[in-house]
């Protein structure tokens, strides 16, 4: 089959441009196979990264039809099928399919400056990874006579995050980093959770304090889910970020910061009424239940505008399923508490008999 490849090309000192290449390819050919053929057969100046060709090294990440992915993993047939599924539904089922040549657009990854064509400068990616100290620390322990052992259960906690190949796909799609360059990124925080979950590490509390630093850490995540949707190894960075948040929330009270208060108040209000009482939410979070006068004052302009436009809620009606929501939250909290107790018991060494 013939496929038209639109490649977004760019030099550091020039604006991006689109160049087209037509290939006669098999549907099973990978996008990397096609890039190789373009370079070897049509334009030897095309720049892109590659190495293992087996979804191991993560070198060949690019944007394929607007989605960050590994060029060695995606093939022509599945990519064209994905694009076809995303097209608007055609009401006229008898209409002839579009006779135009199928097209695949290839572009460099986002959130990183372009060096040349599909090659980007990943310095910020690596710097942010380094910032979370992605190494097991045992500095406080004495040098053991043997290696630090883990149970199969302890090791299993590291499997998912250990699959990360640092391809940069999640970083490329991260909306939070796009608007806040100080946010460390989903790749770094996924690795961060691996350190938090590692039973051999002795810096858990210090790590959690570091990851709790405002929008630079876990609270900078906007939960857009893009990182999970593009991860080729199913690391699910958003899930790992949520786990770190859970560890922090278990250790912090509502008075520790507005960010913590926001999350705890949200759960509290949903538990009470099934959904959020907007009148109380601002007062409890921003105004800190009338403890933060400056915060209360900041709410006044918004409150006045809402009153003038008739949008200020005068009352609150709990949802019909409020009791069900409350029982579900209670059940989850009881289950989480029991799991913590079981883990604590499992980690407690048995006394040695005399």
Digit-coded pLDDT (tens) for 243-258: 999 999 999 999 999 9
Chain segment 25-40, per-residue pLDDT in tens:
999 999 999 999 999 9
Q: Which pLDDT value is given to residue 342?
A: 76
Query: What gap in Å lies between CA 78 and CA 123, rounded to an integer?
Result: 32
| Percent of residues in the chain assigned helix, strand, coil, to nearest 5 | 45, 10, 45
Q: Which pLDDT value is given to residue 215?
A: 87
How far, in Å, are 140, 295, 307 from residue 271 at the CA level? 42, 25, 27
| 3-class state of residue 29 by DSSP | coil
The model's pTM: 0.85
CA dihedral 76, 79, 81, 83 (to 10 degrees): -130
Count Cα atoms within 13 angstroms, Cβ side, for 242. Answer: 11
The DSSP secondary-structure symbol of 75 reads B
Q: Which pLDDT value is given to residue 65?
A: 96
Domain ranges (residues) in the chain: 2-85+99-116, 122-251, 258-345
What architecture does CATH give domain 122-251? Orthogonal Bundle (1.10)
Q: Which pLDDT value is given to residue 141?
A: 61
List of residues 6+ apart from 309 with CB closer than 8 A: none
| 3-class state of residue 115 by DSSP | strand
Query: What gap in Å lies between CA 193 and CA 215, rounded to an integer?
Result: 17
| 3-class state of residue 309 by DSSP | coil
Determine contact, residues 244/251, Cβ cutoff 8 Å: no
Order of strands, edge to edge, in the sheet holding 17-24? 17-24, 2-9, 103-107, 61-64, 67-70
Chain segment 162-197, per-residue pLDDT in tens:
999 999 999 999 999 999 999 999 999 999 999 999
Beta-bridged to residue 100, according to DSSP, are: none
Averages of pLDDT over each 10 residues, the chain, 354 residues: 96 93 97 98 97 95 97 96 76 50 96 97 97 83 72 93 96 96 96 94 93 92 96 97 94 92 92 90 91 91 91 88 90 84 68 55
Q: 2-85+99-116 adopts what CATH topology?
A: Ubiquitin-like (UB roll) (3.10.20)
Which phi-psi region, left, alpha or beta, contains residue 260 (left: φ > 0; alpha: ψ -120 to 50)?
A: alpha
Q: Which pLDDT value is given to residue 147?
A: 76
Q: Which pLDDT value is given to residue 315?
A: 87
């Amino acid at each position: 089959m013939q496929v038209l490849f639109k490649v977004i090309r760019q030099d550091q000192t020039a604006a991006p441009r689109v160049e087209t290449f037509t290939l006669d390819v098999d549907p099973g050919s990978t996008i990397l196979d096609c890039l190789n053929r373009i370079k070897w057969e049509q334009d030897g100046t095309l720049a892109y990264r590659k190495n293992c060709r087996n979804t191991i090294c993560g070198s060949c990440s690019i944007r394929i039809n607007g989605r960050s992915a590994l060029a060695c993993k995606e093939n022509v047939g599945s990519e064209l099928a994905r694009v076809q599924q995303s097209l608007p539904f055609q009401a006229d089922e008898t209409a002839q399919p579009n006779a135009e040549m199928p097209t695949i657009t290839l572009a460099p990854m986002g959130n990183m400056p372009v060096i040349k064509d599909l090659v980007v400068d990943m310095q910020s990616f690596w710097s942010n990874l380094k910032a979370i100290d992605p190494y097991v620390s045992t500095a406080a322990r004495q040098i053991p006579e043997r290696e630090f052992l883990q149970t199969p259960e302890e090791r299993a906690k590291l499997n998912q995050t250990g699959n990360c190949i640092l391809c940069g796909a999640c970083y490329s799609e991260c909306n939070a980093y796009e608007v806040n360059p100080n946010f460390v990124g989903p790749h770094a925080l996924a690795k961060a959770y691996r350190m938090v979950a590692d039973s051999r590490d002795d810096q858990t509390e210090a790590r959690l304090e570091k990851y709790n630093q405002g929008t630079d850490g876990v609270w900078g995540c906007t939960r857009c889910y893009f990182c999970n949707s593009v991860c080729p190894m199913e690391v699910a960075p958003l899930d790992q970020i949520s786990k770190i948040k859970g560890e922090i929330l278990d250790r912090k009270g509502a008075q520790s910061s507005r960010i913590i208060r926001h999350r705890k108040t949200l759960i509290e209000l949903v538990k009470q009424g099934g959904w959020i009482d907007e009148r109380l939410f601002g007062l409890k979070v921003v105004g800190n239940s009338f403890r933060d006068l400056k915060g209360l004052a900041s709410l006044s302009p918004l409150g006045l505008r809402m009153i003038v436009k008739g949008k200020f809620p005068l009352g609150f009606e709990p949802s019909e399923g409020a009791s069900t929501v409350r029982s579900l939250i209670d059940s989850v909290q009881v289950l989480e508490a029991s799991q913590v107790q079981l883990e604590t018991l499992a980690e407690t060494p048995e006394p040695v008999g005399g």
